[in-house]
Every structure is written in structure tokens, then in C-alpha cells.
Amino acid sequence: MVDNTSVRIVENDSPREWRLYNIEDDAECMFALQGAVCMSDLPPFKKRTKYVDNQILYLRQSIAIMGLSIDTFTSSIKAMARIVAYFSHDVGQNKLKDIEFILTYQNFPVVHLSNRYFSHRDQVSSGDEVEFDRNVDPLGILTKLKGQQYCHAMDNVVNVMYLFQASCCSIDPFRYSYPSIKPDKIHIGDIVEVTLSFVVYLLAKGRAKCTAVLKTITLINGKYTRVRGPTRMEEEDCKQL
């Protein structure tokens, strides 16, 4: 349960946004969620296309996961709704748009997470700017798009890993590690755990929008992977709750 004894909302001016922080360690709150992948639009980025400046900022990687009828997944969705409601106390209930990252697909609840590839350079400190990983931008397409206006920042990085259990270790048979993997190793049907943060952005006309920002993807079980079939949900089959 989110309450003002453990977390606080921090408002930033550039860009105008609201984020949730732990009071104890003053770190941004991260939330974990497990489910099956039903849509993915992940790197590597290989599309050579000309973009105008206002399109570049909205290029993003994304994933959607569903929990079928699992009670814990449903409980997580309810918790997310409470977090958005918590933001409304600072932002204003009438200003905050309805939740857009919680959807339904074939009558099952779905959570859609994404993260932009770029941030405004003048809104990022020099120490937070990073280069694109080769697994994300093997052809250097995104790097060439940065220019003077945009950069790839720590806040844009999505780490992709898999859960490895060292079952052969006699000392600690349940020792786990999380080696990095290429993002394109994540497939439809895989069981994953994602971590995310919540950010509320100010929109035009005084409105605001809460976004679930993708931070990490951990492959837990890939044996249910659908080898053939669509790699994304069709828009007409997906709707908001």
C-alpha cells in the first residue's frame, strides 16, 4: 500500500513531471511485475527511416505482459491504480487522464510498459548521458539521430537479463545470477519479470498523464515461447480497462 509514511512525490521543473521516491533511501520507487509476454517492440533498432525532430523524442521500446487469471497479477493492477490515485493528490484529480497503460487483450488484463530512446539534452546532466549499447543500436542509426537536441540518458536505459540458477553448486544449490542477454531473445509467450517506475508528465491545456516506464526485463521461463505468430497485439484487439 502506498502512503506518505514510506514514499513521497517529487515534482521536477525540467521537464515538468512528478515521480515517486522512497523516503528511507531517497531513491526512485521501482515496482516488479511478472507475467507472460503478449507484445514486444524491443531492440535491436534496424529501421533506417528519416524522422523529423518531433518524432525522434517519441521513438521507444516497449513490452506488454498479461497474467491470464492469476490473482497476483490482478492484485498488482489494482495496486497500480492506487498509485495513480496517489499522484492525483499532488497533480489534481481533474487534471490526470485515465490510465492508459492498463489494457485488456482477449478479455485478460494487460500492462503495457515502454521507455523512450531519447531525452532532451538540456534536461539531462552531463554525467547521466550514456552511449547506446551495441545490442540496442548495432547499426548506429539511433546514435546518428541524437544531434544537438537529444541524447540517450541513464533514464532511457532498459536492462535485459535472464534468471540463471546454479543448481550444480553443492554449497548453495539455489544460488541465482542475472546475466545480460540481447533484447531480441525475449519472445511472445515467455514468462518474464519487469521492473518499472511511474512518471506523471504535464500535457497541453493543463492535463497530465501517468506513464509506466520500463526499466528492466528478466526472462524467467522461455519454454512456452510461441515460435510462430504475430509479434504484437493488433490495436483493434486491445482496449483500455
Separation CA 25–CA 162 (nearest Å): 27
The cell numbers describing 86, all together, are 496517489
pLDDT per residue as tens, the chain (241 positions): 566 678 999 998 888 899 999 999 999 999 999 999 999 999 998 878 888 777 899 999 999 999 977 788 999 999 999 999 999 989 987 899 999 999 988 888 999 999 999 999 999 988 899 999 999 999 999 999 998 899 999 999 999 999 887 665 555 556 778 889 999 999 999 999 999 999 999 898 889 999 999 999 999 988 766 543 344 444 445 555 5
| Amino acid letter, residue 182 | K
All structural domains of the chain with their residue ranges:
7-221
pTM for this model (two decimals) = 0.87
Fold of 7-221: OB fold (Dihydrolipoamide Acetyltransferase, E2P) (2.40.50)
Residue 191 in 3-state DSSP? strand
Residue 4 in 3-state DSSP? coil
The cell numbers describing 120, all together, are 532532451
Q: What is the enclosing helix (H) or strand (E) of 88?
A: helix 71-91
Separation CA 192–CA 163 (nearest Å): 9
Per-residue b or e along 18-43, where b marks 16 or more CB atoms closer than 10 Å to that residue's CB: bbbeeeeeeebbebebbbbbbbbebb
Contact indicator for 61, 113 with CB cutoff of 8 Å:
no
Separation CA 157–CA 163 (nearest Å): 19
First to last CA, the chain: 21
Separation CA 99–CA 84 (nearest Å): 8
| Amino acid letter, residue 84 | V
